[in-house]
């Protein structure tokens, strides 16, 4: 789906999600997850057991006062607070993300911090916001000194990965992924849109067009869900590429594929926690590039391979009787 068209009152929401395998030999239960994700003493960790085990930290705030990246070179200073939070899925996959909303215009002069603290998750420009240029600048990564939500998310992720409950023994090797996103409001009557790009081996960008009035939290949840499933798909592909898939015989083939079966295959549940009003955006990704189609193809290959390897093992067992 194409890029959103900008309107006079366009507001911008953006952020970055970093996703990785939790470095622990055993998946955390919800109680342990609550300890790891307790970022604030005054708010509890939200937990859910349906449709899978899921824990969500409370939001924390970071104050910022810096330039915004802009693809057209515009000089835009912004002041406000960035929200950060973390989530853990099935006690295995950890995500840390930062996000904020930028209104179409802000005060001409910097305000006292009290003005910004009562607007959590809002970063106000000084003057008018060139929304399209800033969205493109944020997706491009910006320059040193400009607002970078990825660095904020990385700081939280690093902190969580050092938690004493984690034994630092991962069940298999994997790499982190980064999903950098920006969402622009679209005019009434225009369909929502999504443009997903694989920029680098570990970096994806997403440009969204969402209806006016869409809750920022709903957009954040959509992007977290997309980041989770992109990590799962990327990790499965890498696992198969590194396992001499199809060329290893007997027990070694089963051993190479076992981490995928034990830790990954049951996690695929796209849209489980996505607002229904944004479900059309996931449906677009199912058409192109076809997330679930590729996932199910890979899963079937794994199951077929394991079945083929099990046949001679079964014959040997029967012959030995």
* % of the chain residues with pLDDT over 70: 89
- The answer to whether 39 and 57 have CB atoms below 8 angstroms apart is yes
Q: Which residues contact 91 (CB under 8 A, 6 or more apart)?
A: 22, 27, 28, 29, 30, 32, 33, 53
The number of C-alpha atoms within 13 Å of 74 and in the hemisphere containing its C-beta is 21
Per-residue pLDDT reduced to its tens digit, 109-140? 999 999 999 999 999 999 999 999 999 999 99
Q: Would you say residue 9 has pLDDT above 70?
A: no
Instruction: Report how far residue 183's alpha carbon sits from residue 296's, in angstroms, rounded to the nearest whole number.
Output: 29
- State residue 259's pLDDT score: 86
Q: Which residue has the higher pLDDT, 277 or 163?
A: 163
Sign of CA dihedral 23, 25, 27, 31: negative
Per-residue pLDDT reduced to its tens digit, 20-73? 999 999 999 999 999 999 999 999 999 999 999 999 999 999 999 999 999 999
Per-residue pLDDT reduced to its tens digit, 181-215? 999 998 887 889 999 999 999 999 999 999 988 99
Instruction: Report how far residue 96's alpha carbon sits from residue 86's, in angstroms, rounded to the nearest whole number.
Output: 4
- The answer to whether 176 and 18 have CB atoms below 8 angstroms apart is yes
Q: What is the average per-residue pLDDT within 78-87?
A: 98
- State residue 249's pLDDT score: 57
Instruction: Indicate the pTM of the whole model.
Output: 0.91
Q: Which residues contact 136 (CB under 8 A, 6 or more apart)?
A: 70, 71, 182
Question: DSSP letters along 109-163, please?
Answer: SPPPHHHHHTSTTBEEESSB--HHHHHHHHHHT--TTS--HHHHHHHHHHHHHT-
Q: Would you say residue 13 has pLDDT above 80?
A: yes
Q: What is the average per-residue pLDDT within 270-278?
A: 91
Q: Name beta bridge partners: 17.
A: 97, 179
- The answer to whether 21 and 92 have CB atoms below 8 angstroms apart is yes
Average pLDDT over the chain, rounded to whole? Answer: 90
**Extended strands (E) in the chain:** 12-21, 46-48, 54-56, 60-68, 76-89, 93-102, 123-125, 177-186, 193-198, 203-211
> β-pairing, 177-186 with 12-21?
antiparallel
Instruction: Report how far residue 240's alpha carbon sits from residue 197's, in angstroms, rounded to the nearest whole number.
Output: 22
């Amino acid at each position: 789906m194409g890029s959103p068209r900008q309107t006079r009152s366009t507001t911008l929401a953006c952020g970055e999600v970093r996703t990785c395998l939790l470095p622990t030999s055993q998946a955390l239960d919800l109680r342990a997850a609550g300890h790891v994700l307790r970022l604030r003493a005054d708010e509890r960790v939200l937990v859910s057991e349906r449709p899978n085990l899921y824990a969500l930290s409370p939001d924390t705030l970071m104050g910022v006062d810096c330039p915004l990246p802009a693809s057209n070179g515009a000089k835009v200073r912004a002041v406000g607070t960035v929200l950060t939070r973390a989530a853990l899925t099935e006690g295995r996959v950890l995500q840390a993300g930062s996000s904020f909303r930028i209104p179409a215009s802000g005060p001409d002069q910097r305000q006292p911090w009290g003005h910004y603290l009562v607007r959590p998750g809002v970063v106000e420009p000084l003057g008018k916001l060139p929304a399209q240029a800033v969205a493109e600048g944020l997706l491009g990564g910006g320059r040193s000194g400009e607002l970078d939500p990825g660095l904020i998310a990385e700081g939280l992720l690093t902190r969580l990965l050092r938690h004493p409950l984690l034994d630092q023994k991962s069940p298999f090797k994997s790499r982190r992924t980064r999903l950098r996103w920006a969402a622009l409001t679209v005019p009434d009557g225009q369909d929502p849109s999504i443009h997903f790009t694989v920029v680098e081996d570990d970096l994806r960008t997403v440009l969204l067009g969402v209806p006016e009035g869409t809750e920022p939290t709903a957009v954040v949840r959509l992007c977290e869900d997309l980041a989770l499933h992109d990590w799962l798909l990327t990790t499965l592909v890498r696992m198969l590429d590194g396992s001499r898939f199809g060329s290893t015989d007997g027990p070694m083939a089963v051993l190479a594929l076992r981490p995928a079966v034990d830790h990954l295959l049951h996690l695929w549940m796209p849209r489980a926690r996505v607002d229904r009003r944004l479900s059309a955006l996931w449906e677009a990704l199912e058409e192109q590039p076809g997330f679930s189609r590729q996932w199910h193809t890979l899963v079937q290959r794994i199951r077929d391979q394991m079945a083929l390897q099990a046949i001679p093992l079964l014959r040997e067992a029967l012959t030995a009787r």
